[in-house]
Amino acid sequence: MRMKTILMTAGTALLLFPRPVTPHHSFTAEYDSAKVMQFTGTVTKVEWTNPHARFYLDVKDAQGAVTNWNFELGSPILLRKLGWKQDSLKVGEQVSVEGYLAKDGAKMANARKVTLSDGRNVFAGSSGDGSPK
């Protein structure tokens, strides 16, 4: 409920801007907002790069087959302003990720929630959701 309030405040306030920072690309063109999927796996790589930071996760399915998934985050410029760093997520960590699937069927998703095994959320923008600042 608290999170909802924070989101509402941030969301509504943002829209008073005539021109917010436009994201690098349209979410709608690349990801399907109706296809949210949960992933659990091991971090294999973190790319602290523009225009988007990314991390890759080995995810094992019920048959034991492992697929490497590519997850998109915001730009490091923006993530840094929230207090996150290149090593906020480390190779080898076990994480759970909630993300929107790519529309074209690629093994890619847009990360909207990244949770470490101890329950902390990383890269979150709200102080009520674990952000360091």
Partner 1 sequence: MRSLIPCVLFFVTAAFGQSNTGTLTGSVSDTAKTPIAGVSIEARNMETGAVQKAISVPAGTYTLSQLPPGKYQVTAAAVGFKRYEHKDIVVVQAGQTQRVDIPIGDFISLDTLGEDRASFGRFFFSRPKPPEGPAPRTSEDKPDFSGIWYGPSPGGGDAPELLPWAQALEKERTDHNYKDNPQSRCLPFNVTPFNLLLNRLVQNKDVLISIIEYDIPGYRQIYLDGRAHPKDLEPSWTGHSVGKWEGDTLVIDTTGFNDKTWLGEAIPHTDKLHVTVRLRRPDLGHLQIETTYDDPGAFKKPWITKGAATLASASEEVAEFICNENNQDVEHMIGK
Q: Which is nearer to partner 1, 58 or 129 (CB)?
A: 129
Q: Which is nearer to partner 1, 60 or 91 (CB)?
A: 91
**Percent of residues in the chain assigned helix, strand, coil, to nearest 5:** 20, 40, 40
Answer positive or negative: Cα dihedral of 11, 16, 17, 18.
positive
Judged by CB under 8 A, the residue of 19, 65, 118, 119 near partner 1 is: 19
Helices (H) and strands (E) in the chain, counts: 3, 6
Q: Does 67 bind partner 1 (CB under 8 A)?
A: no
Q: Does 50 bind partner 1 (CB under 8 A)?
A: yes
Interatomic CA distance for residues 102 and 118, integer angstroms: 28
Q: Does 84 bind partner 1 (CB under 8 A)?
A: yes
Q: Which is nearer to partner 1, 10 or 60 (CB)?
A: 10
